[in-house]
Amino acid sequence: MTNVVDIKVWGDYACFTAPESKVERQSYPVITPSAARGVLEAIYWKPQFRYRICSIGILKLGTQMSLLRNEISSRQTEPARKKKAFEHYLAVEDDRQQRTSLMLQDVAYRIKGWLDLRPGQDPQTLGKHLDCFRRKLERGQYFHKPYLGCREFAADIEPAVDGTDEPDLNLNIDIGNMLFDTAYIEDDAWHRKHPQDRLEFWRQEAGAAKPRIARGHSKRLFFAASIDHGWMTVPQDKYNELDILEGRHGIS
């Protein structure tokens, strides 16, 4: 397959939070497919395509560590980021909580993925996107700083090298149920009936110059994850399920 991207990413710290442990964060033992996609999007992103992760090599498994830190218990609302922010300020001293995170230290991964053009996009543009991605990767440039799970855990990137960036073939771990990705589902009826769960997000239509605001909700997808001979294989049928939930039918 000619549209494959292959990178090495590493960092001092990482936290790939399991959704069921968001208050007291507990990281999965390795990077999730959605976090790996986020690393690729940090390098080069356009709404015309989606990254599909094929496999993830575990170059450094890392060690678990516990960290106690201060966080706020409330979510800062949109008005607080507008001009009259002083009218919607958040007093950190009144909203601070101490929370423990079980995270990872000293990790490195090899991410293999490919570019899946959105429906309605010109296949001739695929080469241009690949060239932009590889040029940025080789120069150490990016759309925004890559990170490993949480934005404060910055990561370094470089092109992966066969024969050098190879995982331990003796590494075999049964991880169990792992977060695959999140589908953003457009549904106006749900948005009206469930104010506690509703979302607004950008939706890019084929041929449209600008994205539009879509209203709906989200749904998490999971898969049975395992590391076999140093590699975690990502089931591609899950991306087809993601496309169907979002009303977009990609490449099978």
CA nearest to 51, candidates 73, 69, 35: 35
Higher pLDDT, 71 or 38: 38
Model-level pTM?
Answer: 0.85
All structural domains of the chain: 4-245 (3.30.70.2660)
Residue 206: the pLDDT is 63
The pLDDT of residue 135 is above 90: yes
Flag the least confident range among 17-21, 86-90, 109-113, 186-190: 86-90
Question: What is the distance between the alpha carbons of residues 121 and 117, in angstroms, rounded to a whole number?
Answer: 6
**What is the average pLDDT across 124-128?**
91
Element (H, E) at 12: strand 4-14
Flag the least confident range among 74-78, 216-220, 231-235: 74-78
What residues have CB less than 8 Å from 91, skipping those under 6 apart? none
What DSSP designation does 112 have?
E
- Nearest 5 degrees, angle CA 119-CA 120-CA 126? 85
Higher pLDDT, 200 or 90: 200
Residue 210: the pLDDT is 79
CA distances to 52, 90, 205 from 222, rounded to whole Å, are 15, 35, 27
What residues have CB less than 8 Å from 21, skipping those under 6 apart? none
- What does the pLDDT look like over 38-67, one tens digit per residue? 999 999 998 889 999 999 999 999 999 998
